[in-house]
Every structure is written in structure tokens, then in C-alpha cells.
């Protein structure tokens, strides 16, 4: 019998282990940074600046997940004042995509209802203006918060040994990408085959190494398809929904028969109480429950009111849900009651140029202490994320990008702006730009008009703009992911 080649794949992550050091590109991924050595061009795409990761990839069975089936989110005043109603609508649209997903066990065995190609589409006006889509960025952030990483972790370094002079090294390369059907390691993601090239800055005095993924399809050399891949979102691009392998990773993490020894989130207890979203007055509920839990099957996200100026005096929200468990060797369910006085996820805005490796956004994550075994002081058992996170978008406004010695003055319009927050899709409506009140026509004028005094270089302004979306094949301006065609099927949970 001949077995078909595996063509799917996902990566899971959790707390950094002691050997997962910056020198092996864990935590801060130098080779995806704008600061990478100029003689080896870094991969700079839409979220190319978001290279500070919150943990490291794990072996199969060791990844972290949420066990909070209902999570709340809200908007800080700083977000509202900069992004306004349209920014709030964009974030709500991202959560609508996630809320529209089925329970993971309800999907078909081979996930054929989800697409692989054409999920990333291009709006050419937004691309010409270097715009970054808020909705698509929130989808990426939330998939990470739910436990997934993308194609830039098909291969990771497991170790490096210097064996001689002149930076001669041996490398151990891990394959940290797993097929959602067979769970075997695989070099495929969404049907694309990946290999790797090891980048090492030792010769230039920067001893940081990484196994950088490259697609074997040389017509689309550095394209990534999974929404969970931060480096995959192009400027001017937007996602229709999740891809097959994004959902495949969620199915593995959250299926009800994936049992792990876990602790519940703070302010939860096991009991029986009627769910309500009405404010109630109550003392802090008992915490600290731990046991063998199955996956939640589905995470639901609820937008709640939040007053960041005058405090969170709106009371305590109480919600109940069930989780599968194993008690005395018997399968059963427990009712989890959770009470919190603030949103789990808060969206804010701030000037992030103090952190030049993250010019687009920052986010936080907390790991719930795992009650299971440890190895050499490092948790290697499956882990749990706390539901809480603060997501901060850069509100510095239009940002120019120059570098020495090639481009050091204001006459390099093709680098201006580095990115601009926007909301856009595939229709005929013009993109919306931020901050509130910003003018699209003025931005187009800036990037299509030669600046005064630009005598050092040939003018290379935008050739043309339009608001027509198309598939992101290799022929698209600026490259593209997946090579899909226009009018690709809308994926399950897309909210379209």
C-alpha cells in the first residue's frame, strides 16, 4: 500500500525552556528583524517588526492552550481615541471570525471545508500606501494566544556546537511542525513544502543562528500561508478567515479527548451557578483547582463595557461552562464558574518606538503554573495560558524607514510610510486609515508627489492604485502568499 505524502502542518508553543536561548533565535528572532545584517536581507513583511516572541516551540504533546471557554475583551480609552468606531468594528470583526468557527470535533476528518490557497488577498490601494490591516493582525495575535505558531517554525535549532576556528559549527535542527491528521512531524504547511537555510552571524561578531524556512516552490520563495505566521501578513493584504492548518492546530489543542493535567485560571472554581452578564457583588471566588481536563472544544469571545479612565466599577461578571475531565478513571464533565472584574483582553494604543523591534504592536501573556512534572527545573508537560492579555497597537502615526548608507534622506518615497494602520477588504470601498480623522486622499498625495528638494535619487513614487482585491499569487505586486486566485472559496468561520 502506498501512503500519500503529508501536506498539512502546525506548530505549538509554551514557556521557553532553559536551552531555548536568544543565540538560537528563541524569544527575539534576529533574522526576522529590521536590524538584521544588511548583507543578508531580513524578511520584512507586514508584521515583520513583531519578532519578539513570548515563548518557544514545543515537542508534540507539550504545547500550551487555554482552558477558559468564555473570554472577554474590551477597549482602553487610548485605543478608542486613536482608532475610533472603525477600529473597534475591525477588532470585533476579527473575533466574529473566531466565534463563527465550529466546535473543533465537529469539523470533517480531513478539514476539507477550510481553504489553503487564496486566503490572503491584496487590496492594491492599501498595498501602495503600506497599510497594515487591523482585523488580520488581531486574528494573528489571537491564534498565538490560543497556542499556535506558523511556518517560520517548521524548523528550529535545537543546539549549536562550535567545532573549530572561523565560526565552524555543527547544528541540530528540529522539525517542530506536526500534521493535524496523523500528528507526525512534517515539512508541509497548507500543501506547501518547506526546507531551510541556516543563517549565522558569527563571522560578523553576531553569534545568532536560525534555521530559516524557504518554500521549495521557488516561484513563491518566502511566502507563508498560515494566519498564525506573523511574518506572513503582507502590507496591503487581508485574510478571509483561517486556513486548514490553522484550524487543524486548534483542533488538536482543543479537542475534548486531548486530556492534560492542568490548573484552572484565577478566579474560577468547580461548582454550579447560573451564568449571568449582569453586575453582581461577590467576594473573590475560590481558586486553585487542578486536575485532568480535556479540551474546551471552542473558545467564545465576548465584548464587554470597560471604563479605563474612571475604573472598572461595573461589577463582577460571572459565567459558567463545562469541561471534560477524568475523575477516578472515569470520563465526566465539570462545571466551571468564573468571575472576573476586568476584561481578559484589553486593546490599547501607545507610542512603541521605544521598542524598535516591535514597531507595530506589543502583547502580553501569562502562563498558569503547571501542576505536572518538570525536567531539570523546566516545565515540559502540556501547559496552560492565562486568558489575560494587554494588546497595544503603535499609535506613532506615519513612520518613515531609512537605513545607512543607501537611503538616508527624505527622497526615498518607496520606503514611506513603513506601515500605516488601516481597515480594508476586497470591495470597492476605499480603505479606512488612522488616526480618527486622517485623510486617505492626503496620504495618497504624499506618496505620489515628488517631495521638494529630492535631488539625490530618482523619483520612484507609486505607479497606480485601485481598490480591487485579488489572489496573492507570485505575480502580485510585492509578492504574495499561497498563489491563490481571486474569488477563492470563503473559508468556514470567515464571517464573510
CB-CB contact of 387 with 367 (8 Å): no
Residue with cell string 464573510: 496
Q: What is the pLDDT of residues 398-423, one digit of tens each?
A: 666 666 666 666 655 444 456 789 99
Mean pLDDT of the chain: 78
Name the helix (H) or strand (E) containing 262.
strand 260-263
Binning pLDDT at 50, 70 and 90, where does residue 32 land?
Answer: confident
Q: Which of 266, 264, 304 is nearest to 285 (CA)?
A: 266
Q: What is the pLDDT of residue 38?
A: 53
C-alpha–C-alpha distance, residues 345 and 381, integer Å: 26
Strand order in the sheet with 64-65: 64-65, 383-385, 367-368
Q: What is the 3-state secondary structure (H, E, C) of 12-26?
A: EEECCCCCCCHHHCC
Q: Provide mean pLDDT across the span 203-223.
A: 79
> 294, 104 in Cβ contact below 8 A?
no
- C-alpha gyration radius of the chain: 23
Beta strands at 316-327 and 330-340: parallel, antiparallel or unpaired: antiparallel
Whether the predicted pLDDT of 472 surpasses 90? no
Say how far apart CA 263 and CA 67 lie, in whole Å: 9
* 3-state class (DSSP) for residue 52: strand
Domain locations in the chain as residue ranges: 13-471
Which of 241-276 are b and which e, b meaning 16 or more Cβ less than 10 Å from the residue's Cβ?
bbbbbbbbbbbbbbbbebbbbbbbbbbbbeeebeee
Distance of alpha carbon 279 from the chain centroid: 33
Q: What is the pLDDT of residues 296-349, one digit of tens each?
A: 999 999 998 887 765 554 556 778 888 999 887 888 888 888 887 788 999 999
Amino acid at each position: 500500500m502506498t501512503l500519500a505524502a503529508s501536506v498539512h502542518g502546525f506548530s505549538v508553543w509554551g514557556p521557553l525552556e532553559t536551552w531555548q536561548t536568544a543565540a538560537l533565535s528563541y524569544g527575539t528572532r534576529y533574522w526576522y528583524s529590521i536590524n538584521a545584517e544588511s548583507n543578508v536581507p531580513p524578511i520584512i513583511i507586514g508584521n515583520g517588526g513583531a519578532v519578539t516572541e513570548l515563548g518557544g516551540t514545543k515537542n508534540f504533546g507539550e504545547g500550551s492552550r487555554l482552558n477558559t471557554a468564555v473570554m472577554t475583551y474590551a477597549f482602553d480609552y487610548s485605543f478608542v481615541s486613536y482608532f475610533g468606531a472603525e477600529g473597534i468594528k475591525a477588532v470585533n470583526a476579527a473575533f466574529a471570525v473566531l466565534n463563527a468557527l465550529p466546535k473543533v470535533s465537529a469539523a470533517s476528518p480531513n478539514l476539507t471545508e477550510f481553504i489553503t490557497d487564496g486566503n490572503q488577498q491584496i487590496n492594491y490601494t492599501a498595498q501602495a500606501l503600506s497599510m497594515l490591516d487591523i482585523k488580520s493582525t488581531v486574528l494573528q495575535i489571537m491564534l498565538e494566544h490560543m497556542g499556535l505558531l506558523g511556518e517560520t517554525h517548521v524548523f528550529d535549532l535545537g543546539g549549536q556546537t562550535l567545532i573549530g576556528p572561523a565560526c565552524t559549527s555543527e547544528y541540530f535542527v528540529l522539525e517542530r511542525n506536526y500534521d493535524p491528521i496523523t500528528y507526525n512531524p512534517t515539512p508541509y504547511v497548507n500543501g506547501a513544502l518547506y526546507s531551510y537555510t541556516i543563517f549565522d552571524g558569527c563571522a560578523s561578531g553576531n553569534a545568532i543562528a536560525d534555521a530559516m524556512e524557504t518554500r521549495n516552490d521557488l516561484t513563491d520563495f518566502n511566502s507563508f500561508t498560515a494566519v498564525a505566521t506573523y511574518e506572513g501578513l503582507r502590507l496591503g493584504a487581508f485574510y478571509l478567515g483561517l486556513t486548514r492548518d490553522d484550524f487543524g492546530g486548534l483542533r488538536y489543542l482543543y479537542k475534548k479527548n486531548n486530556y492534560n493535567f492542568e490548573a484552572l485560571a484565577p478566579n474560577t472554581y468547580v461548582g454550579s451557578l447560573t451564568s449571568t452578564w449582569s453586575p453582581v457583588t461577590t467576594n473573590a471566588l475560590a481558586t486553585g483547582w487542578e486536575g485532568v481536563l480535556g479540551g474546551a472544544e471552542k473558545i467564545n469571545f465576548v465584548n464587554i463595557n470597560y471604563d479605563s479612565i474612571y475604573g472598572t466599577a461595573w461589577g463582577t461578571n460571572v459565567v459558567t461552562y463545562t469541561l471534560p475531565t477524568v475523575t477516578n478513571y472515569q470520563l465526566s464533565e465539570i462545571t466551571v464558574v468564573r468571575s472576573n472584574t476586568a476584561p481578559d483582553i484589553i486593546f490599547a494604543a501607545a507610542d512603541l518606538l521605544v521598542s524598535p523591534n516591535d514597531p507595530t504592536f506589543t502583547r502580553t501573556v501569562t502562563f498558569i503554573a503547571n501542576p505536572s512534572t518538570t525536567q531539570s527545573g523546566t516545565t515540559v508537560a502540556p501547559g496552560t495560558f492565562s486568558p489575560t492579555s494587554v494588546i497595544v497597537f503603535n499609535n506613532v502615526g506615519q513612520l518613515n524607514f531609512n537605513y545607512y548608507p543607501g537611503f538616508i534622506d527624505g527622497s526615498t518615497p518607496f520606503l514611506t510610510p513603513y506601515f500605516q494602520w488601516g481597515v480594508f477588504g476586497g470591495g470597492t470601498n476605499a480603505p479606512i486609515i488612522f488616526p480618527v480623522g486622517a485623510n486617505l486622499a492626503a496620504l495618497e498625495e504624499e506618496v505620489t508627489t515628488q517631495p521638494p528638494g529630492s535631488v539625490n535619487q530618482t523619483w520612484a513614487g507609486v505607479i497606480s492604485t485601485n481598490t480591487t482585491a485579488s489572489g496573492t499569487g507570485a505575480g502580485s505586486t510585492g509578492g504574495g502568499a499561497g498563489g491563490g486566485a481571486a474569488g477563492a472559496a470563503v473559508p468556514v468561520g470567515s464571517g464573510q
